[in-house]
Amino acid sequence: LYDLELIKVGKIYDNGTPAVVDFDLAVVKGEFIAFLGPSGCGKTTTLRMIAGFEQISSGTIRVRGSAINDLPPERRPTSMIFQNYALFPHMTVRRNIGYGLEVKGLSAKQRAAKVDHLLATLSLEDVADKRPDKLSGGQRQRIALARGLAVEPEILLLDEPLGALDANLRKTIQAELKILQKTLGITFVFVTHAQSEALSLSDRIVVMNQGRIEQISPPHQLYTRP
C-alpha cells in the first residue's frame, strides 16, 4: 500500500493556465521525494494540491489508499512548511509550535508535553519563550518545522524551506531534515529549484518542466538515461 499516490493529477487555474498535467507518482512510507525544476514548472501547485490549499482540476490524490481530494487541509494527514516560515509574530516560539494542537483542542497539559519534546528535538529550548522576529532564519525554520511536526502528520510538505537561508545554515538544516526523516519515518515531499538540494536530500527526484514530469530518478541516476 502506497503512502501517497497522485494519479493523473491536473491543475488548470481559473485564468486558463495549465499548471500541472497528468502528474503520476506513487510514494512509499518514509520516502524523501524532491520536486525539482525551474520557476513556474508547477512544483508549488502540486504541493498545494496535496496539502488541500488548491483544488485539483482532474485526477485523484490518495493517502494510504483513500482519496483525499475532497478533504479540507486541516483534515488531511499533511503539514506544510513554507520558505518564509509563516510564523505568528506576536506569539512566543512555544505557542507557535503548539498552535496546531490548540486548534485541534488539546489541553494545555497535553500540548506542553509535545511542545517540550519538539523544542528539545530541534534545539529550541533556549528560545522557547522568545518571539520569532527576534530569532535567526535557521531558528525560525526550525520553529516552523516543529509546528508542522506537532500535529504528527503522515506526510510533511516542504516548499523551498531552505531558500531564505545562507549557505551554512542550509547545510545544517539539510542534515537535520535527514535525521528527522530517519527518526520519524514519515514521508517527505520537498520542492526546490536547486539540484544540489535535491541530490543530497532525496531518495527520488521528480524532474518537472512546464507542468509535466520529465523523469523520476534516484539521485545517482539523475543524469543517466532510463
Q: What's the CA gap between 96 and 25, in Å, rounded?
A: 33
Q: Check residue 55 for interaction with ligand ADP (CB under 6 A).
A: no
Residues whose CB is less than 8 angstroms from the CB of residue 172 and which lie 6 or more positions away in sequence, other chains included: 138
State the nearest-atom distance from the C-beta of 50 to ligand ADP, in Å. Answer: 12
Helix (H) or strand (E) holding 137: helix 137-150
* Identity of the residue, 44 or 187, whose beta carbon is nearer to ligand ADP in the bound complex: 44
* Identity of the residue, 39 or 107, whose beta carbon is nearer to ligand ADP in the bound complex: 39
**DSSP class of 70:** T
By CB under 6 A, which span of 37-45, 71-79, 149-157, 213-221 interacts with ligand ADP? 37-45
- Three cell numbers at 25? 507518482
Angle at 200 between CA 121 and CA 180, to 5 degrees: 15
Strands 212-217 and 66-67: unpaired
Residues 7-26 contacting ligand ADP, CB under 6 A: 13, 15, 17, 19
Q: Check residue 41 for interaction with ligand ADP (CB under 6 A).
A: yes
State the nearest-atom distance from the C-beta of 43 to ligand ADP, in Å. Answer: 4
By CB under 6 A, which span of 35-43, 68-76, 90-98, 99-107 interacts with ligand ADP? 35-43
**Number of residues near ligand ADP (by CB under 6 A):** 12
State the nearest-atom distance from the C-beta of 27 to ligand ADP, in Å. Answer: 18
Q: What's the CA gap between 211 and 12, in Å, rounded?
A: 10
State the nearest-atom distance from the C-beta of 4 to ligand ADP, in Å. Answer: 18
* Identity of the residue, 13 or 88, whose beta carbon is nearer to ligand ADP in the bound complex: 13
Q: What's the CA gap between 79 and 53, in Å, rounded?
A: 11
Q: What's the CA gap between 153 and 100, in Å, rounded?
A: 11
- Residues in contact with ligand ADP by CB under 6 A are 13, 15, 17, 19, 37, 39-45
